[in-house]
Chain A
């Protein structure tokens, strides 16, 4: 047996369904029948709204039919189908949604008076329908206008129906006691529909108030402000309030915007970008918007309360993007709007942001967080903002010229201007990679011209307020020159060295890009000129030439048109040819700029980083970053992201890096730890090393591969090692500090030198080796070629003959245990004598580490001694009288190329503390062999009775 409530519900739904159908055919369909199509925008808008209403009415009808169906099912199979299967209970939300949609489209029609307008249009038709309409709405007075009747016809049945729902559900609740779940469902549905009643009431009130507002406003204002969806929430005519600084006559709070009317002008503020701030006193509060700060003042505190509450709730609702249900501010969620929001906004006020559109995160009226800023002139900034200004990493595109060319700045920003490390690719294809301050190049940076520019040019060095200033290296591709020296205000200024493609180089003092006063000029044939000369290397004025043969010419020089060089002076032919080692000592740049100051712009940011306590988020700005596919990014404006190589959040990584340092402080572990750090381009130390490599290559590769720069380069490498060690120490101190441990004490000079030479230098040397070794090669070219001749000559000797030639005492010859035939012995002996020592020595070129090279050398001595001991059948300590000839033998057989360059590089990189010690001795002995092999009798001497391999000996 079915309950009477259920039957009542069935009847209710049946009636509602029928009513909807009637209203549909009597009212909605005729309303939509507008031929011809309205031509004015308002008419079209009305039609659109009515269509939407029709559609939601259909939805409502469908839902009602479904509900009916579920009721009938229940009636037929009462025993099997429970009460909870009713659509109204089970899918209360869906039913509700259909109602809400209907209410919203209906109220939109009310706001724009769609019914009145439509009725006016087809007045004749509706007059004919009058009787039928009035039948539909029994309670309506006969005097009511058609518009009103239409509006009523579309609203009244719904209101009635919802009311009945509530009544029935409540009585359901009283009867249906059994299963608990069913009861819950009933209560839930009842609550929903009670709420729906409130919603409906508020929607209608708002719609009517809004409609009344539009009615009262001038048509110009109405046209500007009216949209069907907009609802008035508060009007200053109802609750008075004054707004400063705009002095608005009227303040209108809509559900999407705050509007201030002031004479003819209208100020509209998007609610999504309104932040409410409580005021100082009870009658004021403030609103923050992107471009204005408004103060709301009321006479009575409660008026302020009303406004503040309404605005706050309206902001919340606007941010949620849907109407609060059942009424404004009724949501259960916290009613405070979030301070950080994500919105797009176009700035209007004059200033740098005028007409620019910002899309992204905001906080309290200002762009804050990630966002994109686009100016109408095509400028474009993607990145981080803070308090309305660019701050943190950002990419700025600035269009250049008519073509699709841009200057692209991938930089770190601070308070709106570039600050810290950045990469800028200009529309001209120039690229700057380096540091900025206050939007200008400042600190270390590299500016390179376009790869295929007609006059290629590259500057690697220091900048000050956008100008080249301080130590810097400039390569002028067109002139084939490289300037290494001091700059000021974009000009060469101060001591400098110029190296040319032709191998000529000079050193002097520059002023405003020109060389002034005397300088030193070195030509490739080792002539030396000390005096004054011009930039195109013409000798002018007083000076002294020292020729490679030692002759000197001192006097005054000049050159006339077509007469070539002329001179008046004294030619001294008495001098001896200069010692090669003294020619080698002619090094440029040494002492004129202290090596410590060369690359301050590279070390400086690292020190800043350390003294700031290694902040992870500052790491990139201070130490730089690497960008992938930079060229491709720049080509289009669709870049929007910059693939910086940064797999993990900086702060965490920094933490890890510092922990790592603390874990590996024992010598062995430290070496490995440093090796890893230096080879990792994301590690602070690795980054520093990479930048140093860049400067080194810019100075000493290519044109800079000039033997007169060897000393400068060598000093620089050692300085880098010292700085890297200091950098490591800095990081370590920060790591200790972070863990609350006591910092390490300052080390003394000796310990530091030991670490620098013993630990850091070998680890970093590979990064500089190729350029550095090239300089040594060039410097020792002459001796190395004599040495090669010596080696070549000695290689003609068979082993025994060579041993004899070198005066190695016969009893040391490793021959006696060979009991083979003459011929066999011949070939074997040739390959066998001191083979182990020879092979050992050859390994010297397999490493760049000077310590390892010395170890190879030491093992070689060991091998020689071992061989001799075997020959003699007892342990034998070789005195130098015996060792040196044997060593010369081994060196000549090892045939190591460029031995001179090797030896001097090892010696220069050796810790000075080893002077006089074992390493020094090992190296000196090797060097003496090298010197000896260069001697004339080694290079030219032929063994008496030339060796003939076919003759037995």
Chain B
């Protein structure tokens, strides 16, 4: 039997960029053996094979509204990965993305895998954010980057495969029964200040 690793993934990004659409697409497109309980589109799970492991993504959505930003740390604590979504047709959303990256670097879990998703690539004719910008930025922070279309189911699979690849494999010497969750356990961040 393959080991199941539970990986908590949180979704960040402005409201309206299609965070949950990406996840809905990812979760619903494929038949999943275990019908896991969900909370609407806010909490979903999906298990995918990766090498000799199974990665069970526990995907936490967050509220994108500006006023709820300060609540985000509660959601991303303990995450193995963060998917930060922007809308290629909205420059502002790319700006917000940068703010998220900065925050995660400062206050997020150590070794968190970051994946950048430029959503709505089906609307490239009204694009505001060039792919090159995104790629350059992603490279500078060591993040996975893809342009996706939740509507047309483009690159969704690839996005999560990218995350899987970035997750360090389990150290066989380590007593890792719940894997990444333990890795990403919040250190006692006593000095963390709300942003």
Q: Is there a chain A Cβ closer than 8 Å to B78's Cβ?
A: yes
Check A931 against B37 for contact (C-beta < 8 Å).
no
Check A931 against B71 for contact (C-beta < 8 Å).
yes
Quick one: which of B32-80 are within 8 Å of A by CB?
Answer: 36-43, 58, 60-65, 67-68, 70-71, 74-75, 78-79
Check B191 against A932 for contact (C-beta < 8 Å).
no
With contacts A585-B190, A807-B65 known, is A877 near B71, CB below 8 A? no
Check B42 against A582 for contact (C-beta < 8 Å).
no
Check A880 against B42 for contact (C-beta < 8 Å).
yes
Check A915 against B181 for contact (C-beta < 8 Å).
yes
Instruction: Write the nearest CB–CB distance from A925 to chain B, whole angstroms.
Output: 7
Q: Is there a chain B Cβ closer than 8 Å to A516's Cβ?
A: no
Given the complex, which residues of A lie within 8 Å of B16, measured CB to CB?
881
Q: Kindly supply a per-residue 1/0 record for chain A positions 733-770, scoring 1 wherever the CB is within 8 Å of any chain B CB and 0 otherwise.
A: 00000000000000000100000000000000000000
Q: Is there a chain B Cβ closer than 8 Å to A404's Cβ?
A: no
With contacts A879-B19, A881-B64 known, is A928 near B74, CB below 8 A? yes
Check A807 against B67 for contact (C-beta < 8 Å).
yes
Q: Which residue of A lies closest to B43 (CB)?
A: A921
Given the complex, which residues of A lie within 8 Å of B63, measured CB to CB?
880-881, 883-885
Q: Which residue of A lies closest to B64 (CB)?
A: A881
Q: Kindly supply a per-residue 1/0 record for chain B positions 152-195, scoring 1 wherever the CB is within 8 Å of any chain A CB and 0 otherwise.
A: 00000000000000000000000001100100010010111100
Given the complex, which residues of A lie within 8 Å of B39, measured CB to CB?
858, 861, 883, 918, 921-922, 925
With contacts A879-B19, A879-B41, A880-B42 known, is A582 near B191, CB below 8 A? yes
Q: Is there a chain B Cβ closer than 8 Å to A917's Cβ?
A: yes
Check A928 against B71 for contact (C-beta < 8 Å).
yes
Q: Is there a chain A Cβ closer than 8 Å to B120's Cβ?
A: no
Q: Supply 5 further A-B pairs (C-beta < 8 A) apart from A877-B20, A880-B19, A881-B15.
A: A585-B190, A879-B41, A880-B61, A915-B78, A916-B7
Given the complex, which residues of A lie within 8 Å of B60, measured CB to CB?
921, 924
Q: Which residue of A lies closest to B36 (CB)?
A: A918
With contacts A881-B15, A884-B68, A921-B60 known, is A579 near B190, CB below 8 A? yes
Instruction: Write the nearest CB–CB distance from B16 to chain A, whole angstroms.
Output: 8
Can you list 11 contacts pairing A with B, beta carbon distance less than 8 Å? Answer: A579-B190, A877-B38, A879-B20, A880-B42, A881-B19, A881-B64, A915-B181, A916-B7, A916-B58, A927-B74, A931-B74
Check A883 against B40 for contact (C-beta < 8 Å).
yes
Check A916 against B62 for contact (C-beta < 8 Å).
no
Q: Which residue of B lies closest to A749 (CB)?
A: B177
Check B61 against A579 for contact (C-beta < 8 Å).
no
Q: Is there a chain A Cβ closer than 8 Å to B138's Cβ?
A: no
Q: Is there a chain B Cβ closer than 8 Å to A592's Cβ?
A: no
Q: How far is the CA of A879 from the CA of B70 in the complex (A)?
A: 18
Q: How far is the CA of A268 from the CA of B42 in the complex (A)?
A: 96
Q: How far is the CA of A807 from the CA of B64 in the complex (A)?
A: 12
Q: Is there a chain B Cβ closer than 8 Å to A576's Cβ?
A: yes
Q: Is there a chain A Cβ closer than 8 Å to B147's Cβ?
A: no
Q: How far is the CA of A924 from the CA of B77 in the complex (A)?
A: 10
Instruction: Write the nearest CB–CB distance from B39 to chain A, whole angstroms.
Output: 5
Q: How far is the CA of A31 from the CA of B121 in the complex (A)?
A: 140
Interface of A is mostly: helix
> How many residue pairs at the A-B interface have CB separations less than 8 Å?
103
Q: Is there a chain A Cβ closer than 8 Å to B87's Cβ?
A: no
Interface residues on A, range: 20 to 34
Given the complex, which residues of B lie within 8 Å of A565, measured CB to CB?
none
Given the complex, which residues of B lie within 8 Å of A915, measured CB to CB?
8, 78, 178, 181, 185
Quick one: which of A53-110 are within 8 Å of B by CB?
Answer: none
Given the complex, which residues of B lie within 8 Å of A927, measured CB to CB?
74
Q: Which residue of B lies closest to A864 (CB)?
A: B40
Q: Is there a chain A Cβ closer than 8 Å to B4's Cβ?
A: no
Q: How far is the CA of A276 from the CA of B181 in the complex (A)?
A: 79
Given the complex, which residues of A lie within 8 Å of B62, measured CB to CB?
880
Given the complex, which residues of A lie within 8 Å of B190, measured CB to CB?
579, 581-582, 585
Instruction: Write the nearest CB–CB distance from B129 to chain A, whole angstroms.
Output: 21
With contacts A579-B190, A865-B40, A932-B68 known, is A877 near B24, CB below 8 A? yes
Check B42 against A883 for contact (C-beta < 8 Å).
yes
Q: Kindly supply a per-residue 1/0 record for chain A positions 303-340, scoring 1 wherever the CB is within 8 Å of any chain B CB and 0 otherwise.
A: 00000000000000000000000000000000000000
Q: Kindly supply a per-residue 1/0 record for chain A positions 923-942, scoring 1 wherever the CB is within 8 Å of any chain B CB and 0 otherwise.
A: 01101100110010000000
Given the complex, which residues of B lie within 8 Å of A750, measured CB to CB?
177
Q: Is there a chain B Cβ closer than 8 Å to A300's Cβ?
A: no
Given the complex, which residues of A lie within 8 Å of B36, measured CB to CB?
918
Q: Is there a chain B Cβ closer than 8 Å to A913's Cβ?
A: yes
Q: Which residue of B lies closest to A857 (CB)?
A: B39
Given the complex, which residues of B lie within 8 Å of A876, measured CB to CB?
40
Instruction: Write the nearest CB–CB distance from A799 to chain B, whole angstroms.
Output: 20
Q: Is there a chain B Cβ closer than 8 Å to A266's Cβ?
A: no
Q: Is there a chain B Cβ closer than 8 Å to A796's Cβ?
A: no
Contacting residue for A916 out of B20, B68, B181, CB 8 A: B181
Instruction: Write the nearest CB–CB distance from B69 to chain A, whole angstroms.
Output: 11
Q: How far is the CA of A133 from the CA of B76 in the complex (A)?
A: 128
Q: Which residue of B lies closest to A879 (CB)?
A: B20
With contacts A582-B191, A750-B177 known, is A924 near B68, CB below 8 A? no
Q: How far is the CA of A861 from the CA of B41 in the complex (A)?
A: 11
Given the complex, which residues of B lie within 8 Å of A924, measured CB to CB?
60, 74-75
Q: Is there a chain B Cβ closer than 8 Å to A29's Cβ?
A: no
Instruction: Write the nearest CB–CB distance from A390 to chain B, whole angstroms.
Output: 53
With contacts A877-B41, A883-B40 known, is A916 near B8, CB below 8 A? yes
Given the complex, which residues of A lie within 8 Å of B71, measured CB to CB?
884, 928, 931-932
Q: How far is the CA of A231 from the CA of B60 in the complex (A)?
A: 102
Contacting residue for A878 out of B42, B188, B193, CB 8 A: B42
Q: How far is the CA of A884 from the CA of B178 in the complex (A)?
A: 28
Check B41 against A878 for contact (C-beta < 8 Å).
yes
Q: Kindly supply a per-residue 1/0 record for chain B positions 74-117, scoring 1 wherever the CB is within 8 Å of any chain A CB and 0 otherwise.
A: 11001100000000000000000000000000000000000000
Given the complex, which residues of B lie within 8 Å of A858, measured CB to CB?
37, 39
Contacting residue for B193 out of A576, A585, A807, A932, CB 8 A: A576
Given the complex, which residues of A lie within 8 Å of B68, measured CB to CB?
884, 928, 932
Q: How far is the CA of A924 from the CA of B62 in the complex (A)?
A: 11
Instruction: Write the nearest CB–CB distance from B119 to chain A, whole angstroms.
Output: 13
Instruction: Write the nearest CB–CB distance from B103 to chain A, whole angstroms.
Output: 16
Given the complex, which residues of B lie within 8 Å of A880, measured CB to CB?
11, 19-20, 41-42, 61-64
Q: How far is the CA of A918 from the CA of B60 in the complex (A)?
A: 9
Quick one: which of A851-899 are within 8 Å of B by CB?
Answer: 858, 861, 865, 876-881, 883-885
Contacting residue for A925 out of B6, B42, B181, B185, CB 8 A: B42
Q: How far is the CA of A884 from the CA of B185 in the complex (A)?
A: 24
- Which one of A750, A916, A918 has the greatest number of beta carbons of chain B within 10 Å? A916
Q: Which residue of B lies closest to A883 (CB)?
A: B42
Given the complex, which residues of B lie within 8 Å of A884, measured CB to CB?
63, 65, 68, 71
Quick one: which of A889-915 are within 8 Å of B by CB?
Answer: 913, 915
Instruction: Write the nearest CB–CB distance from B181 to chain A, whole angstroms.
Output: 5
Q: Which residue of B lies closest to A868 (CB)?
A: B40
Contacting residue for B43 out of A581, A585, A885, A918, CB 8 A: A918
Q: How far is the CA of A878 from the CA of B71 in the complex (A)?
A: 18
Q: Which residue of B lies closest to A584 (CB)?
A: B190
Q: Which residue of B lies closest to A585 (CB)?
A: B190
Q: Which residue of B lies closest to A875 (CB)?
A: B40
Contacting residue for A585 out of B37, B70, B188, CB 8 A: B188
With contacts A579-B191, A579-B193 known, is A881 near B65, CB below 8 A? yes
Instruction: Write the nearest CB–CB distance from B5 to chain A, whole angstroms.
Output: 11
With contacts A582-B190, A750-B177, A885-B63 known, is A879 near B40, CB below 8 A? yes
Q: How far is the CA of A915 from the CA of B75 in the complex (A)?
A: 12
Check B178 against A879 for contact (C-beta < 8 Å).
no
Q: How far is the CA of A281 from the CA of B68 in the complex (A)?
A: 102
Q: How far is the CA of A359 from the CA of B58 in the complex (A)?
A: 76
Q: How far is the CA of A878 from the CA of B38 in the complex (A)?
A: 11
Q: How far is the CA of A917 from the CA of B177 in the complex (A)?
A: 15
Contacting residue for B42 out of A581, A879, A917, CB 8 A: A879
Contacting residue for A879 out of B61, B181, B192, B193, CB 8 A: B61
Check B40 against A877 for contact (C-beta < 8 Å).
yes
Q: How far is the CA of A750 from the CA of B182 in the complex (A)?
A: 14
